[in-house]
Structure 1
Amino acid sequence: MLNMAVFTLPLLILTSLLVSLCNGAGIATYWGQNTGEGTLATACATGNYKFINIGFLNVFGNGQTPQLNLAGHCSPNIAGSCSRFGNDIASCQSSGIKVLLSLGGAAGTYSLSSPSDAQQVATFLWNTFLGGTSNSRPFGNAVLDGIDFDIEAGTGANYDVLARALQGHSTSQRKVYLSAAPQCPFPDAHLGTAINTGVFDFVWVQFYNNPKAACQYNGNTNQLLASWRKWSTVNAGQVFLGIPAATRAANNGFIPPQVLISQVLPTIKSSPKYGGVMLWFRFFDTTYSNAIKSSV
């Protein structure tokens, strides 16, 4: 008689890996920072993306009036100017694409002065962009799927409180997805504490614009893969490889598509936490996602 216990552990490992790959493998990108990238609906209609982060809410916290910066796509300070994107968001979601609002970015004024401040920001985000109610909802009746943390300024103080407060709005009927976009030096100075809470569903690590940190592609994959191995251990649902969509999209860290396909993806896809690739950003993604989507 066969000893079924011999097959149990390998089978469980294989099943876990397959579930991870089937549920998570996809491409994420950022939209909202260049009017030349077209509409959100057009981006989703490509069929290339599984996640789109709308960037950015780059003013918030510390008593400030929160402000969107969508780089000319609309004028958030003018009532109703951005409401047309509500239909785009709904169109994307009907195709199974998760749409999140990204906080922070490289240019902005934001910080969380206290746990109470973080709670207030969480309430604002819930009522203005998620499942709550407000007289001022920039995207109309659209309900975004979650919030992305792209925190690149100030300190990391109280972002763990913000993340937990947002997670607290999840229900069995509607989950609030949380993602983070840390820099590749490990652990991230701004988001390390927040990520350690374990409440983030997706972490798309920025393996670019960090040439001195020895954690991105520099002509060979050694440093990149060594850094990936560290990030693949974080307490989060899935980890994505964040890279520029073109040489002009970042100062450094660009990986030619064929190098990604042949030298990077075969290794990182073996991680149970592998979720896919994040491309910065939609405006520059004229060919890259097409080139890699069948391999991701």
Structure 2
Amino acid sequence: MDEIPPNSSLILPTRSVLTSHSFHHHIRFTSRAQHQLFSSSLVHRAVLTTIATTTTATTTTTTTTTTTTTMTSFLLKVLLLAMIGLSSAAVLPREPLRARAIGSPVNTALPTGKSTTPPQTVAYFGQFGKLGVDSLSKFCSSTEIDIIVLAFVNVFKGAGGLPGMNLGVYCDSKIAGTDLLNCPDIGKEITACQAAGKKVLLSLGGEDEEQNSLPDDQSATELGDNLWKLFGEGKGLEAKRPFGGALIDGFDIGIPNGSLTRGIRLDNENKDPLGYPKLISTLRANFKTGTKKYYISAAPQCPMPDKSVGEAVYKVDYLFIQHYNNPACQLGGFVNSFKAWSADIAAHTTAGTKVFAGFPGSSTAAGQGYATHGEMKKYVAEVRGLPNFGGVMVWDVVHAAGNVESGKSFLQAMRESLA
């Protein structure tokens, strides 16, 4: 083994025999705590045992002394290597920085409980706006939005046995023999959005509950596989992909929104959300075959529990809680409602599900529950310290962009609420 350089923090004595006392004087510690940690460690005990053994051995003969001294040096170096895991004392030669310099202090601070992921803003797009005035790329260029959700895949099994879509005024050309839309330009905008650092999700929902129900697991599996082939990295339906080669970043499960859209009916006649968990597990299995990270979100109404989704809320990455169109948990009831959701999700998940506060973008975006810019900021301030707080969601982006108070849009107010 190479000799330890003279500029290292360990200096071996020149005499042939080490004692426990002299050993302590040849290691430099940067703090009393480090010295105490080393003194109480198993490595320290092993070192002293080695010293004691070799000290006894040196009384035999000069030859033995020389041999055991060399062995002592060797064993000490080996044992000192193990010290790195027990102490932050600088006992090895200094080397160029890698991920962390060898011997440098290790951060042992306990976690604060708060999320390390910055809160994000989410906005739905696709059901409102004017062609030529509003566009996906327009909103993707905004610094106020982190995640854009396209609405909707509103038919789960339509013509040709495939899903169907509705993107309002933004795309109305259909792919022959299906209810799918042919939207190559939106595909290009999706790619541009992602290049700008935005996530683009695709929402499953709409007003026609008969067209977007999941009565059983077989229906859910079929839908999950078709969505992966049409909007993800699956193979087999390349000629029918609505957005061409663009890949969305995940799927959002419905946004029940009163008269605007009633979302997905994920239940059978007994109102059990049978299809929802199976849809999620199918999508998750497909995601594992992809080349990038994909997400699943859900947008339940604020009353707990939301019977339309059941325990499936514990299986998503993002939860966009709609704090509107439900008097008991909107406005005055917002804080208690959000805290209850946060606690429930924290108690049932370990995968880091983020909970978002959902608001209508203007007084006309929802039937009731609109919060002004100032009210929204006040509510968010009361819950943003929760460990699993994810950010703010708005329905929808066109309403929010056009809702201006004191020269600032609702989108800008959302961003400011998270600053």
Pairwise same-fold verdict (TM > 0.5): yes
- Distance in 1 between the 2:173 and 2:387 partners? 40
The alignment of Structure 1 onto Structure 2 pairs a total of residues equal to 280
What secondary structure does 1:204 align onto? strand
Displacement of 1:255: 1.2
Mapped pair 1:31 → 2:125:
yes
TM-score (norm: length of structure 1):
0.87
* Cα offset, 1:207, TM superposition: 0.6
Distance 1:62 1:87, change over 3 A: closer
Asked if structure 1 preserves the Cα contact closer than 8 Å seen for 2:381 and 2:417, the reply is no
Q: Determine what percentage of the aligned residue pairs are the same residue.
A: 32
Question: Are 2:195 and 1:91 equivalent residues in the alignment?
Answer: no
1:69–1:76 CA contact under 8 A, matched in 2: no
Matched, 1:185 2:185: no
Which residue number in structure 2 is paired with residue 12 of structure 1? 110
Aligned match of 2:97: none
What's the CA shift string for 1:94-147, capped at 9, x where partnerless?
111110110013445211122111111011000001111322000111000000
For 1:295, give the aligned amino acid.
S
Q: Secondary structure at the match of 1:144?
A: coil
Q: How does 1:1-296 map to 2 (within 5 A)?
A: 11-14=109-112, 16-20=113-117, 22=118, 25-36=119-130, 38-61=134-157, 65-78=162-175, 81-108=182-209, 109-133=211-235, 134=237, 135-150=239-254, 152-154=263-265, 155=267, 156-171=273-288, 173-196=291-314, 198=315, 200-211=316-327, 214-217=328-331, 220=332, 223-233=333-343, 234=345, 235=349, 237-261=353-377, 263-286=378-401, 287-296=409-418
Cα deviation, residue 11, structure 1? 3.8
Determine the C-alpha separation between the residues in 2 that align with 1:227 and 1:244. 16
**What's the Cα RMSD here?**
2.5
**Higher relative contact order (Cα pairs below 8 Å, separated by 6+ residues):** 1
Once the two structures are TM-superposed, the CA of residue 181 in structure 1 deviates from its matched residue by 0.4
Higher gyration radius (CA) = 2
Q: Which runs of 5+ in 1 are unaligned?
A: none
Amino acid corresponding to residue 231 of structure 1 in structure 2? W
1:295 positional shift: 2.6
TM-score using structure 2 length: 0.62
Give the Å deviation of 1:13. Answer: 3.0
Aligned residue number for residue 95 of structure 2? none
Q: CA deviation at 1:18?
A: 5.0
Opposite residue 277 of structure 1, the aligned amino acid is V
Task: Answer whether contact 2:182 2:241 (CA < 8 A) is retained.
Answer: no
Alpha-carbon spacing, 1:18–1:147, altered in 2? closer, same or farther (3 Å): closer
Seen in structure 2, the aligned counterparts of structure 1 residues 247 and 280 have a Cα distance that, compared at 3 Å, is same
Moved more, 80-89 or 70-79: 70-79
CA–CA distance in structure 2, aligned partners of residues 290 and 239 of structure 1: 20
Tell me the CA shift for residue 82 of structure 1.
Answer: 1.1
CA distance in 2, matches of 1:62, 1:87: 26
1:28–1:278: 8 Å Cα contact kept in structure 2? yes
Q: Which has a greater percent of strand?
A: 1
The worse-fitting range, judged by mean Cα deviation, of 168-177 and 145-154 is 168-177
Could you tell me which residue of structure 1 aligns to residue 29 of structure 2?
none
AA matched with 2:389: Y
Question: Larger deviation: 38-47 or 57-66?
Answer: 57-66
Change (3 A) 1:124 1:185: same
